[in-house]
A and B are shown apart, each in its own frame.
Chain A
Amino acid sequence: MLEVQNLSMRFGGLLAVDGVSLDVKEREIVSIIGPNGAGKTTVFNCMSGFYKPSGGKILFEGQEVQGKPDYKISRLGMVRTFQHVRLFNNMTVVENLLVAQHRHLNTNLIAGLLKTPDYRERERKSLDRAAYWLERVGLMDLANREAGNLAYGQQRRLEIARCMVTEPKLLMLDEPAAGLNPAETKDLNQLIVSLKEDYCVSVVLIEHDMSLVMDISDRINVINQGRPLASGTPEEIRQNKDVIKAYLGEA
């Protein structure tokens, strides 16, 4: 469903990403790994429309999306999380989930003022969907707390729930396990697998936690210094000499 072909991104004289390709099929978890500064997040930023790639193509369900504005890409069903959690900190947990469902706000300005039945129905549906996902990630009891006051692990889960209420087809997770303790990482592992199994979402994952990556990925792409280094199943990557060299150094 997603195909990234020969993507490159240049910042001034620096070629941060060079010739990276990637493909994700339906209900698949694909990981992007690589040393720090390899350009993984830049790939994400290109895919989600924050950067306009300098070269290459990004096809989502057969449609070229590179260079499209971020919000349009998100509306097509490609939604992401961020390396450093980005919540609406002064809004409550449930409001965070409601905002995520507000992409068509212009059409219902008058309807909302008059509280038409249609509008009420839509609001109720968004609330129910929010409640469902809060239950799913175990934050129901905190629904009316301010998001900024949640514990770090809870914020991570809220961020994923916030993506899921938009009913995406493809979820891009940028280091979701960073800063989590082992128990939380285990929960996260189950959650991601369940997203794929139960909700038919494809996942692209950037992660440094190798046990998580090896455990849940269907395929893995390795990037080093902006260039693709290897790709294949976890087993293949584990045995790839180039990958071992890149991770362990030249020795």
Chain B
Amino acid sequence: MQDLLYFFQQLINGLTIGSAYALIAIGYTMVYGIIGMINFAHGEIYMIGAYTALIAITGLATLGIAWLPVILIVALICAMIVSSTMGWAVERVAYRPVRGRHRLIPLISAIGMSIFLQNYVHLAQGSRNIGFPALIDGGFQFGSADSFQMSLSYMQITIFITTLICMTLLSLFISRSRTGRACRAVSQDIGMANLLGIDTNRIISATFVIGAALAAVAGLLLGMYYGSIDPLFGFIAGLKAFTAAVLGGIGSIPGAMLGGLILGVSESMTSGYLSGEYKDVVSFGLLILILLFKPTGLLGKPEVEKI
């Protein structure tokens, strides 16, 4: 019974982290699906989202506003605005001028952008990690008090529900809205979409903005969940989310969700049963193995080499 509870605890922890990874992974997968580049700076966009959210929360506290829903919603909106703007600007400044050049060039530009943003926040806000108030405490407890207790916190429930809402909205947006349809058209064939009068530049910008907004949501959620943030906070999370995107099949939105969950669970299982030190090794190892044996991921479409 205890072992089972322990297992479920790891599962819940994994699914929590995993769904947040999935939110970040959307940004990678959409951008890759449309312009075929890895947006290396996406992890930093997520980190900036977390910082903005913390700034908003602290600001509200200074103003004496203490009603939780207001704090959360204002923090969320601020984070989404700043991250989306950042996402838009990054694409405009660092990626659009090099679009269509040799594959390595946008990638190096993206790495440069990632380093730049990391140090931008580092210089502005310091390199130490800063405590992030949990805001949502408490939760359900399962199992008897004298042995292992499984807990499902309200925070975790918030993460699940928020992810679910975001994913549903995104799917609706992609399948129903005009911009969403244009997004799909551009990811099928950018040249053709251009000929048909779709403003591909606008669609690409939209992709970056949407990805950044979702990353900001993840920034707020994971900031609260982990309890502290620092300028390097985005780098590893970005790599994890990228792994999730590749695992699910890069370019596929349901794939990002699935990949995120699998990655989160395998990480928490490693921490729970092996050692927390090796969880990063497991996720990178997973990434290498997928790329070697199934580069198209679980739900991705095979690519035919054009000659």
| Contact in complex: B307, A41 (CB < 8 Å) | yes
| Contact in complex: A50, B307 (CB < 8 Å) | yes
| Contact in complex: B304, A82 (CB < 8 Å) | no
In whole angstroms, what is the CA distance A11 to B304 when docked? 8
| Contact in complex: B304, A50 (CB < 8 Å) | no
The A49-90 residues at the B interface (CB cut-off 8 A) are: 50, 82
Tally A-B pairs: CB < 8 A.
Answer: 6
What residues on B are CB-neighbors of A82 within 8 Å?
Answer: 307
What residues on B are CB-neighbors of A50 within 8 Å?
Answer: 305, 307
A45 near B: Cβ within 8 Å?
yes
The A1-48 residues at the B interface (CB cut-off 8 A) are: 11, 41, 45
- What is the predominant secondary structure among interface residues of chain A facing chain B? mixed
Count of residues in A whose CB is under 8 Å from the partner chain: 5
What residues on B are CB-neighbors of A45 within 8 Å?
Answer: 307
By beta carbon, the residue of chain B nearest A41 is B307
What residues on A are CB-neighbors of B304 within 8 Å?
Answer: 11
In whole angstroms, what is the CA distance A133 to B32 when docked? 43
By beta carbon, the residue of chain B nearest A84 is B307
In whole angstroms, what is the CA distance A41 to B307 when docked? 9
What residues on A are CB-neighbors of B305 within 8 Å?
Answer: 50
The B174-197 residues at the A interface (CB cut-off 8 A) are: none
What residues on B are CB-neighbors of A11 within 8 Å?
Answer: 304
In whole angstroms, what is the CA distance A74 to B307 when docked? 16
Q: Contact flags (1/0) for B230-264 with A, using CB distance below 8 Å? A: 00000000000000000000000000000000000
Minimum distance in angstroms from A179 CB to a CB of chain B: 18
What residues on B are CB-neighbors of A41 within 8 Å?
Answer: 307
By beta carbon, the residue of chain B nearest A83 is B307
Minimum distance in angstroms from B103 CB to a CB of chain A: 15
In whole angstroms, what is the CA distance A50 to B307 when docked? 9
In whole angstroms, what is the CA distance A45 to B306 when docked? 10
What residues on A are CB-neighbors of B307 within 8 Å?
Answer: 41, 45, 50, 82
In whole angstroms, what is the CA distance A100 to B307 when docked? 19
Minimum distance in angstroms from A199 CB to a CB of chain B: 26
By beta carbon, the residue of chain B nearest A50 is B307
Minimum distance in angstroms from B90 CB to a CB of chain A: 29
In whole angstroms, what is the CA distance A45 to B307 when docked? 8
Minimum distance in angstroms from B119 CB to a CB of chain A: 33
Minimum distance in angstroms from B303 CB to a CB of chain A: 11
In whole angstroms, what is the CA distance A209 to B215 when docked? 54
The B280-307 residues at the A interface (CB cut-off 8 A) are: 304-305, 307
Minimum distance in angstroms from B300 CB to a CB of chain A: 14
In whole angstroms, what is the CA distance A45 to B304 when docked? 12
By beta carbon, the residue of chain A nearest B301 is A12
Minimum distance in angstroms from A184 CB to a CB of chain B: 24
In whole angstroms, what is the CA distance A55 to B304 when docked? 18
By beta carbon, the residue of chain A nearest B302 is A12
By beta carbon, the residue of chain A nearest B305 is A50
In whole angstroms, what is the CA distance A82 to B305 when docked? 14
By beta carbon, the residue of chain A nearest B304 is A11
In whole angstroms, what is the CA distance A117 to B304 when docked? 45
By beta carbon, the residue of chain B nearest A44 is B307
Minimum distance in angstroms from A148 CB to a CB of chain B: 13
Minimum distance in angstroms from A206 CB to a CB of chain B: 13
Minimum distance in angstroms from A92 CB to a CB of chain B: 19
In whole angstroms, what is the CA distance A11 to B305 when docked? 11
In whole angstroms, what is the CA distance A140 to B16 when docked? 67
Minimum distance in angstroms from A52 CB to a CB of chain B: 12
Minimum distance in angstroms from A162 CB to a CB of chain B: 16
The B197-215 residues at the A interface (CB cut-off 8 A) are: none
By beta carbon, the residue of chain B nearest A45 is B307
In whole angstroms, what is the CA distance A246 to B31 when docked? 43
* A to B CB contacts below 8 Å, 6 in the list: A11-B304, A41-B307, A45-B307, A50-B305, A50-B307, A82-B307
